[in-house]
Amino acid sequence: MIKNYLKIAWRNLIRNKGFSLTNILGLTIGMTCSIFIFLWVKDEVSFDRFHAGHNNIYKLMANRDFKNSIFTDENMAFPLAKALETGNPQIKYAVMTSHQENHLAQYGNVKLNKDGYQVSDQFFKMFSWKFIKGDAKTSINDPKSMVLTESAARAFFGNEDPINKVIKIDNQLNFKVSAIIADPPGNSTFKFDFIVPFEYTSTESKNRMHEWSNSSNFVFIEAMPGVKQEALNKYVNDVKHQNDSHDQISTYYTFAMNKWHLYGEFKDGKNIGGMIEYVRLFTIVAIIILLIACVNFMNLSTARSEKRAKEVGIRKTLGSDKKQLIIQFFFESIILTCIAFVFAIMAVYLLMPLFNSLVSKNLQLSVVEPFFLTGMVIIILFTGIVAGSYPALYLSSFNPVKVLKGTFAAGKSAVLPRRILVVGQFVMSILLISATIIVYQQIQHIKNRNIGYNPNNLMMVPSSQETDKNYVAIKQELFNSGLISAVTRTSAPITEVGWKSPSPDYEGKPAGSIIFAGLSTDVDFTKTMGTKVLMGRDFNAMPGDSGVMLLNKAAVEAMNLKNPIGMQMRYGPRKYTVAGVIENIVMESPYKPVEPLMVYYNPYGSRMIDIRLKNNADVKKAIQVLRVVFTKYNPNNIFDFKFVDQEFGKKLITEELISRITNIFAGLAIFICCIGLAGLASFTIEKRFREIGVRKVLGASVQQLLMLISTEFLKLVMIAFVIAVPLTWWFMNDWLQKYTYHVSISIWMFAIVGIIILLLTLVVVSINTLKAALANPVKSLRSE
């Protein structure tokens, strides 16, 4: 029996080539999108899950409650990890790591800039890295040992055995390679080339072990299985406050490893999600696209079915019951789905490199994985059953007497559901397209925000002891090239906040402190950055500059100062006079308001040399000049540079990625809609072929015929539009509320989307109608 079903289903597909191809194309695109999205989602939700203890590992966080905002801080005091580890059986391990830092590493003649962490001794016990050479337990017992990743080892040593080789860091410290681990996988939050242990034995470190109020390292704990997070939170707060009773503004809590990647955003001290939103969004998009493709199948099948009514009638008179017909039609849809699935898999393989570069991941499709196999069965059954359900039920219910007497007319009962489905398809497509445009507009809006400085034509070169020593000569040579208009030095890249701390003290300061970002610079800071001085002056290289401070506008507002120029500020042991007020510079998230900033004059604490190119300067030539100058004066480091506009652009990476993905998916969704529409139009025309002929004989023009057929579809699109607009507004307005600076949704955008969709419908339908409209009516009348 099954063989018979298969045979008939197969023949039907072969016989109706246009129908089959349209459906296979739609379903293939739909499934290809879905597979890509599911791979992406799978990767996103798998972050950090490869660590054996991922269910019990936590990162420590602190909410530091300042007057102007709650600052969510990942930095912890140096002795905290050790203190947590001792004396509580609930804690399995506690680990401290530095921030990820970039260092110059050298072996023989090979000099490379590599990223690494300093870690405390339990690091390799808590986290499950794959050891290729050496032993996890002992690898960092020696304070001068280093663990390298496989690719870093290859970069330094090629095929030589790396174990016990010595690597020099920053031209001063020697580390001996003790172990090699596999590179951290793409779904790891930690990304590094090397790991070195913290060093606890020097007197400096011993002193730091009593330094409870400075926080600059990350702390992780792994709890024993079954320990409640509340208990851990309480314990951490207790330990910290026992050791540092001054810390009144901080509340400590644990942040579960399983949430690091997907729930990485905090606002006002509360977790507000993060990537999880996009994971949800794209899961919905994948389902929508698949549904649109299924709807195509339903519409085309039922439209075609009116031609097959006679077949159904005959089958029924010959004894086929309803159930058998239902099974037969399901077989057709499942076979079609399977064929489309095979094409989709091929498309996924072919397009994988493209998709990977689009989402900057390294995803792979492995056909033998259980995840894939279950996914495959789910996708095929879902698509096949959803797509086949309506046609199967509809077709099998034809009344054979009516059909065979020829009085069968697929009346309103068949046309209405089809119209509803088409409207549904277009609602989803219009929603996707509008959402895409709004996301794009929002990104443009953020890009166009006044960020308080000019990131274009601005370069950064990392400082070193040598650049500090030779700064005057470097500056002179740069100016001599004629390509550069200003140079300064900063304690952090302008695209980052180097440190944050409570505001300085000043006369009339109210209780409770405000959190400030800090930056120290050399002269020509505002000139190099292209930042406006709103009041007072910039540093001017006078000896008195070291006692002078600049504030940004946000600081003046937060401190509620009427006349800040000349005010005395006390910060730690030092006193400063406010010399100037500058514009707000966006150093952190471009989506958030700028926080108060204080800028000191301190040329020697610099991490970056900032170089402003002249507007008309040839960038390639400038890089050349910089290379020559820095190689000359900073020979022990690798010449490295960054363009500030590119660094700033990285802040928009997630949104740009989302924008690109939604662009593509919205485009494909509308494309699938259009092929469905084309199919439906061609069926309608086939059915009305004779009518078109009659009308032509009676004098209808081609335009009149096009309008006749098109209005039927245009009406549906119009209804879809009316439904989609409020829906889009509702969804997207909600999304935009996330951003302090956001666009408002404009009616014009909807008008343009509406016009585009209407034109698209008109074109698709007209192309199909044109053939019938131009045909010689003699033919259509003969075909009677």
The contact set with another protein (CB under 8 A) reads 407, 409, 690-691, 693-701, 704, 776-778, 781, 784
CB of 307 vs another protein, minimal distance in Å:
16
CB nearer to another protein: give 287 or 694.
694
Residue type, 360: S
For residue 189, CA distances in Å to 8, 184, 575, 609, 673 come to: 53, 9, 41, 30, 39
- Residue 635 to residues 442, 469, 641, Cα–Cα distance (Å): 44, 13, 15
Single-letter residue type at 372: F
Q: Give the residue with the Cβ less far from another protein, 560 or 704.
A: 704
Backbone angles phi, psi at 570, to 5 degrees: -115, 125
Q: Do 261 and 54 contact (CB within 8 A), yes or no?
A: no
Q: How far is the CB of 703 from another protein (least distance, A)?
A: 11
Please name the residue that has the structure tokens 């704990």.
Answer: 221
Q: Closer CB to another protein, residue 590 or residue 693?
A: 693
Least Å from the CB of residue 776 to another protein: 6
Nearer to another protein (CB atom), residue 195 or residue 692: 692
Among 461, 458, 484, 490, residue whose Cα is nearest residue 638? 461
- Alpha-carbon Rg for the chain, nearest whole angstrom, is 34
**Amino acid occupying residue 51:** H
- Residue 174 token pair: 């020697």
Q: 């007072």: which residue's tokens?
A: 536
In one letter, which amino acid is 153?
A
Q: What distance in Å separates the CA atoms of residue 364 and residue 42, rounded to the nearest whole number? A: 11
The DSSP secondary structure of 252-271, one letter per residue, reads EEEEEHHHHTTT--EETTEE
Residue 509 contacts residue 502 (beta carbons within 8 Å) = no
Closest to another protein by CB, 8 vs 775, is: 775
The CB-of-762 to another protein minimum distance in angstroms stands at 21
Give least dist CB 699 to another protein, A: 3
> How is residue 772 written in tokens?
């019938």
Q: Least CB distance from residue 713 to another protein, whole Å?
A: 16
Residue 708 CB, nearest approach to another protein (Å): 11
Q: What tokens appear for 490 in the block?
A: 């900063």
Nearer to another protein, 597 or 692 (CB): 692
CA distances from 197 to 127, 177, 192 (A): 14, 12, 14
Kindly write down the DSSP assignment for every residue of 473-522, as one continuous string.
HHHHHHHHTT-EEEEEEESS-TTS--EEEEPPB-TTPPSS--EEEEEEE-
Distance, CA of 286 to CA of 41 (rounded, Å): 10
Q: Whole-number minimum distance, CB 308 to another protein, in Å? A: 19
Question: What is the nearest approach in angstroms of another protein to the Cβ of residue 758?
Answer: 24
Nearer to another protein, 4 or 703 (CB): 703
**Residues 774, 778, 782, 783, Cα dihedral to 10°:** 0
Query: By C-beta, is 132 or 781 nearer to another protein?
Result: 781
Considering the complex, state which of residue 8 and residue 781 has its C-beta at the smaller distance from another protein: 781
Distance, in Å, from the CA atom of 637 to the CA atom of 660, rounded to the nearest integer, reads 38
**Residue 734 or 784 with smaller CB distance to another protein:** 784
CB of 691 to another protein, least distance (A): 5
Residue 700 CB, shortest distance to another protein, in Å, is 5
Provide, rounded to whole angstroms, the least separation between the CB of residue 784 and another protein.
5
Q: What distance in Å separates the CA atoms of residue 146 and residue 334, rounded to the nearest whole number?
A: 57
Buried b vs exposed e over 290-319: b needs ≥16 C-beta within 10 Å? bbbbbbbbbbbbbbbbbebbeebbebbeee
Q: Which is nearer to another protein, 240 or 696 (CB)?
A: 696
Taking the least distance from each CB to another protein, the nearer of 168 and 690 is 690
**Would you state the torsion angle of the CA atoms of residues 552, 555, 561, 566, taken in this order, to the nearest 10 degrees?**
-50
Quickly list H helices, 634-746. 644-649, 653-687, 689-697, 702-736
Q: How far apart are CA 568 and CA 587, in angstroms?
A: 26
**Closer residue to another protein (CB): 236 or 680:** 680
CB of 702: closest distance to another protein in angstroms? 9
